[in-house]
Amino acid sequence: MFEGLFQPMHMLMVFGIALLVFGPKKLPELGKGLGESIRGFKSAMSAKEEKASAPEASNSKPQG
């Protein structure tokens, strides 16, 4: 179904259309915004995993 989805020619066409739609000045801003949102998502996911594993670590300590 997705055999030839990410071929180099397809990616060039997508980049060309994006360049026409957004213009050369907006593309770096869009890329920066996308990168920041991905970084934020990853940090939120890692914080959630740390928060979820913290109670397990505190429950495993023997109470005296």
The per-residue pLDDT for range 13-58, each reduced to its tens digit, is 988 898 888 888 888 898 899 899 999 999 988 887 787 777 655 5
Rounded to whole angstroms, what are the CA distances from 27 to 38, 45, 52?
Answer: 16, 27, 37
User: Residue 62's pLDDT band (boundaries 50, 70, 90)?
Assistant: low
pTM: 0.52
7 pLDDT higher than 90: no
Give the residue extent of every domain in the chain: 18-45
CA 48/CA 44 separation, integer angstroms = 6
pLDDT of residue 39: 94
